[in-house]
Amino acid sequence: MASYTLQQTINWAQTFIEYSPLTAGIANEPAISVANMIISTITNAPLTWGWNREESTLLTLVPSQQDYVVALTDFSFLEKVTLTTADGKYAFDVKDVYNTVALGVSVSKPAEPKAVSVHQVEYGTNVTLRFMSIPDQAYKATLTYQTLIPDMDDLTGPWPIPTQYKDIFNNLFAAEAYEAVDNAQEAQRYRMRGVAALLAKAEGLNEMQRNSVLAQFNIRGSQAQAQQLRTQQGNQARGQ
């Protein structure tokens, strides 16, 4: 993980806002909450990262059982489920994975599961998965998931995001610093720089997912903004 601290980001951002305080509130607010909101944005669906990915082989599906509770204390959201047969041979990947859409109780005959949903989750404790259809035989499951990132509460602690991604979190932090001093134009400029870096590094997003990310930052795709974002994203991808 990164060794770049939140205090370093604050020091950098303050140079643009004439050193207006960003930690004058109780418990170093608003800097702490700004950082945690940025972390949440970067590490929540639909964004997936190799440095935040884990796999679990704790789950075994059994015939005629639809729901399964898995003890995962670091679970954030599910990426993929791969099933193997009882003798260890690859069977298939579950085609449809849902983190927020519920699957109903199955009344169909047991068959190869084609979908899985996160039916319930107690963050830090366990996750309940529901399969559709009900498994027709015993399968060993490999769960690929993104991990839950704890909140930051210390200015001197490192960002829980690799330093290679500071072009994302520094720019997004600077945008909020500009908002704090009522400079909306510069806030939007740095916000777009951060989003461009984010989209340049995030692989495999479809158009709907990209629009979802843009909507979080109130970037609605005017022609001027869209062209600026494409230019910035291209520069980020080329390392400029």
Taking alpha carbons only, the member of 232, 231, 213, 228 closest to residue 38 is 213
Taking alpha carbons only, the member of 130, 148, 129 closest to residue 54 is 148
> In the chain, what are the domain boundaries?
6-48+155-237, 57-147
> Can you give the pLDDT at residue 218?
77
| pLDDT above 70 (res 226) | no
> Can you give the pLDDT at residue 222?
43
pLDDT, tens digit, 9 for 90 and up, residues 11-48? 999 999 999 999 999 999 999 999 999 999 999 999 99
- SS3 annotation, the chain: CCCCEHHHHHHHHHCCCCCCCCCCCHHHCCHHHHHHHHHHHHHCCCCCCHHHEEEECCCEECCCCCEEEECCCCEEEEEEEEEEECCCCEEEECCEEECCCCCCCCCCCCECCCEEEEEEEECCCEEEEEEECCECCCEEEEEEEEECCCCCCCCCCECCCCHHHHHHHHHHHHHHHHHHCCCHHHHHHHHHHHHHHHHHHCCCCCHHHHHHHHHHCCCCCCHHHHHHHHHHHHHHHCCC
| pLDDT above 50 (res 1) | no
pLDDT, tens digit, 9 for 90 and up, residues 171-219? 999 999 999 999 999 999 999 999 999 999 998 899 999 988 888 887 7
Taking alpha carbons only, the member of 1, 11, 194, 96 closest to residue 186 is 194
pTM for the whole thing? 0.87
Q: 123 falls in which pLDDT band (50, 70, 90)?
A: very high
Q: 230 falls in which pLDDT band (50, 70, 90)?
A: low
pLDDT, tens digit, 9 for 90 and up, residues 55-102? 999 999 999 899 999 999 999 999 999 999 988 899 999 999 999 999
> Can you give the pLDDT at residue 216?
84
> Can you give the pLDDT at residue 227?
52
> Can you give the pLDDT at residue 2?
46
